[in-house]
Structure 1
């Protein structure tokens, strides 16, 4: 099977085919922002220890793979405890905002959705590979897909812990994805898409703050993916629109990693 490069993936946002350069540009901006945040939070001496021999002032931030590798190295070396500490104030604030948004939305939801078309790719094989990331706890692969991923790991109970910056939010958010609760996600399953990845996003006390339903099928020699994240209805619209670029970045990188 031929390998599809990231640039060969057709990404549709709001029905518009966006150029690969637009996705790369978004990822580059976010990678620079996250590196700046990490450097500010831990200090230059700590960054020099985490990245020996790397001159942060001379980085080519448009080199996407180099930036991915660099950020993964920093995050893995900091470890879960270090990352929790770096974003602890953000997590406390974002949890309060999420609880308020859920209460104010009164059960209403809004959605961030994109569509991908990937030549020479199998929907069932990609779905199995993606499920395996959580099952095998492949943290480097999970956090490396998007600069805004701080921590993604599988938990012993089968759920996935996520610490990430969602869309255009100024703060990181922590939640758990329960993939056993996919039937409760408000996005309906389309029977034309036989491969489904769905689950509710919950806080530690079980409060549902959102969900995901990612749907895949084979179509004319390609894989078509409709990727949707569910948010409380009163979440800021900027977060909803910006999260489409987050989806395009992470799934573009995951699909490329799968095929390589």
Structure 2
């Protein structure tokens, strides 16, 4: 099921055409990273090819293909975190769904993470290469952050809010938030995704925290295509 979502950056609407152009470009980069070539621009086919390739490679295959840039991005992330001394910059995007409820969506996301539904998580955006929950309950992520030239590997702990600098907005009663850390445990940012009911649907305010000294290009928003089930969207 596909839902017409309204996307806003700095309060200004982003057209569906712009979102799809971003997705096509992102899909092309992701396919090249995974050893394939995009021979067409059909979005549905690109999504299916990427999802199949990620699941075919599995964890070890993804890590092996991306090992060199993951090693570089890990060193960069730790250096920038050290220079930033806990300071943060934010990348924020709002998405409005005409259906569903804030609490149901937040619960759905948390359930996906708890059950480690990688098939859904890696399909949410082209440059989500691996998103899985480990034995400690943390979410291991390998993805390209915003406008970064490299993929990165980090862990998000949704039970840990200790180093987040953003503050909850009281107008958004539902929240999914957690600290992001490098494999050696260095805090490099985190997420604070907030949701509220609005009209017949809900609004999401999605915030990603980066270290203060991150390159500005990393802050480019990422559009995620998520198609939850009709029964979930209509639950209030």
Q: Which runs of 5+ in 2 are unaligned?
A: 232-236
Is 1:27 matched up with 2:23?
yes
Per the alignment, do residues 132 and 213 of structure 1 end up closer, same or farther by CA in structure 2, a change over 3 Å counting?
same
Among 2, 7, 11, the alignment partner of 1:11 is: 7
Indicate yes or no: 2:162 matched with 1:171.
Answer: no
**How far does residue 211 in structure 1 lie from its aligned partner after superposition?**
0.5
**Structure 2 CA distance, aligned partners of 1:178 and 1:149?**
17
Which residue does 1:42 correspond to in 2?
none
Instruction: Give 1:224 deviation, angstroms.
Output: 0.9
Deviations 1:12-55 (A, max 9, x none): 0122101011111101111012112322xxxxxxx6xxxxxxxx
Report the count of equivalent residues: 231
| Higher fraction of helix | 1
Deviation of 1:146 (Å)? 0.7
Conservation of the 8 A alpha-carbon contact between 1:12 and 1:115? yes
TM-score by length of 2: 0.93
Q: Does 1:107 align with 2:78?
A: no
State the match for 1:205 in structure 2: 184
**Aligned twin of 1:215:** 194
Name structure 1 gaps, 5 residues minimum. 40-46, 48-55
Pair 1:128 & 2:99 matched: no
3-state SS, counterpart of residue 181 of structure 1: coil
CA distance in 1, matches of 2:33, 2:131: 19
SS of residue paired to 1:213: strand
- After TM superposition, the score normalised by the length of structure 1 is 0.84
SS at match of 2:104: helix
Greater Cα radius of gyration, structure 1 or 2: 1
Matched, 1:152 2:148: no
Q: Which residue of 2 aligns with 1:232?
A: 211
Secondary structure, in 3 states, of the residue corresponding to 1:180?
A: coil
1:257 aligns with 2:236: no
For 1:170 and 1:219, the matched residues in 2 are separated by 36
Following superposition, the deviation at residue 220 of structure 1 comes to: 2.1
Structure 1 residues 92-124: Cα deviation after superposition (integer angstroms, max 9, x where no partner): 100110111011112211000011111122111
- How many angstroms apart in 2 are the aligned matches of 1:188 and 1:64? 36
Q: 4+ residue stretches of structure 1 with deviation over 6 A?
A: none
CA-based RMSD of the aligned residues comes to: 1.6
Secondary structure of residue in 1 paired with 2:228: helix
